[in-house]
Each structure stands twice: as structure tokens, then as C-alpha cells.
Amino acid sequence: MSANTNAPAEARAPHDPLARESRSSVAPLDGALWLVRHGFPVFPCDHPELKRCAGLHKTCDGSRGKHPAVAFTRGWTLDERKVHETFSRGLRNPAVAVGACSGPEGWRLLVVDSDRPGAIEDVAGAHGEQWPATMRVWTAKGHHDYLWAPPTLKLGNGLGTLQGRFDGDVRAGNAYVIGPGALHASGVLYELDDPERPPVVAPGWLLDALVTKPTFAARRTHWRDASHPASRGVRGLVTFVLDSRPGDRNNRLFWAACRAAEDAQDGREDARDALLDAAVQAGLDEREASATIRSAYNRTGATA
């Protein structure tokens, strides 16, 4: 039975030991074992109940429970024995190496990350379509929907024409998502909606949208909407980044990140996430943009 997509996390009834409301020290191991038994490559991430972040990064950005504890592109496993060894040694959240996952006939994994319950259903409805029932993991804010995409499509983390129209993100290729059994920093446990439901093939309208580049005006609409909660305090810096042209995008991002870091030191709003999203929308690679923002924060002496 599928849970109501509009129900808050605390109102959802558990389906099995992976979908329980109470915390458990064995929940990460349960989730990791379920994942590898169903063909999903697993690796460990930081756990929010650890005193110190277990992530590989030099400085934690405060997003506890989400930082890879190994180099996830090569540190993943499908070996149950190794999973037992890794997740029995101490608290670690299980995560899925998206790009390492291979489905039927070599199809690749695509995860749609909705930042609120029903977000992707709303997008489907706007396209005159119905969102398919597929493998779903409930998160602290919304849900992860697992789908299969043809290996011929070069998908990444870009939203294509869904930019500004979808409250969430997608993960494909060199990416990862936190898996069922993981504990969010807020105390919410990532839960499988239905352990018996496998990923289905991604609908054609979604794939078409993801591989189609948005117009420049469409890229800017999302952040220039004053009603967007992340734009109120940082709209000027975000607009500055969005208005960048090839050849100058990285320099403009660095300048904006320096100003944001200075504001953060003065106790004002921190714009890191908004700037990263804007940089990717402007056409920068996510890794490159993240490194630029981190460099800017280090330059000003702020924590990145």
C-alpha cells in the first residue's frame, strides 16, 4: 500500500522495520543491507549523532548526516559482508552511489528529489501527465523517487526546462543520495514507502525536460521571484551570478561568494546554497562552483 504523498512524515504509518518512526541504532545497517540486496551500491556517510562529522571534507558545512565518509565514486560496495563490517563499526548513514547503479539492460539510475511531498506530482500534472508509482524514500522535507533512464542519455544534476518549475532536484551520473535507514539532522528517519515496489522506467516527458536546455530568461525566473524564500536576503548576489556570461561566470561567483561570506561573519543571511544553485543554473559545473564558493569563504576567513 502506498502512503499518501501529501501526508507529513509523522503521520505516515510504517510498512516494515525500515519504515518505523522510532530511532534505532541498527536502522542504518538495515537500510544498507536492503539496498545492496536490491542491487543498489552503498557507501557510508556521516551520522548526525556522532560528536564530530565523519565526512572526508576538511571543514563541515553543518549539513550533518550527508557528507560521504569515503570517496563514494569508488568506495561503494554491493558486498553484504563488507556492509556488515562498515555499518557495525559505528554510526554511519547509508547512501547510494547513483552513477554506479545499473538496472535492467544496463539502464542507469535517476533519482528525483522533491523538496516537499507531492512536488513532482504537481509538475507531472502541469504536463498533463500522471506521476508513476515507483520506488520512493521519504526524506526530512519530501521524498526521493527512484527511476531507470536509458544509458544513451547523459543525465546529471541539471533540471533542464524544469528549472524554476520544480521544487527539488534530480541526481544522476556522478552523484549520490542518502538512503533508507539514514537519520537526518532534524531527527527524521529516511523511510521506504513500499519495500516491494521497484524503480520504474522514467516517463518520456521527464527525460525530454531534463535533456532540454532552458532559455536564459527561464533560468533567471526561479531566483528573481521575490516570493522565493531563499531570494529575499540574497537576491542581488544571486542575480549577479545569474547574469554571468561564459568566460566571466567563475569570477562573478567568487566575488558574490566573498560578499556572502562577509555578511555571514556579520550575522546576516548565509547565501551559499542559493549561490551554488544559481551558479549551476548559469552553466557552471556543480563541483567547480562549489570549490569556488569554498575558496571565497576561506579567503574571507569564514567557514565553508
Q: 131: domain range? A: 9-211
Q: Give just the sign of the alpha carbon dihedral 216, 286, 291, 296.
A: positive
4 domain-assigned: no
46 domain-assigned: yes
Domain termination residue (choose one: 165, 180, 211) = 211
Domain termination residue (choose one: 211, 227, 249) = 211
Whether residue 148 is found in the same domain as residue 181? yes
pLDDT tens per residue, range 211-255? 987 654 444 445 444 444 444 457 778 888 888 777 778 888 888
Whether residue 79 is found in the same domain as residue 127? yes
Number of domains the chain contains = 2
226 domain-assigned: yes
Residue 273 pLDDT class (50, 70, 90 cuts):
confident
Whether residue 135 is found in the same domain as residue 174? yes
Domain termination residue (choose one: 161, 185, 211) = 211
Whether residue 134 is found in the same domain as residue 247? no
Whether residue 192 is found in the same domain as residue 100? yes
162 domain-assigned: yes
Residue 13 pLDDT class (50, 70, 90 cuts):
very low
Q: What pTM did the predictor assign?
A: 0.68
Whether residue 162 is found in the same domain as residue 252? no
Residue 184 pLDDT class (50, 70, 90 cuts):
very high
Whether residue 196 is found in the same domain as residue 251? no
pLDDT tens per residue, range 33-52? 999 999 999 999 999 999 88
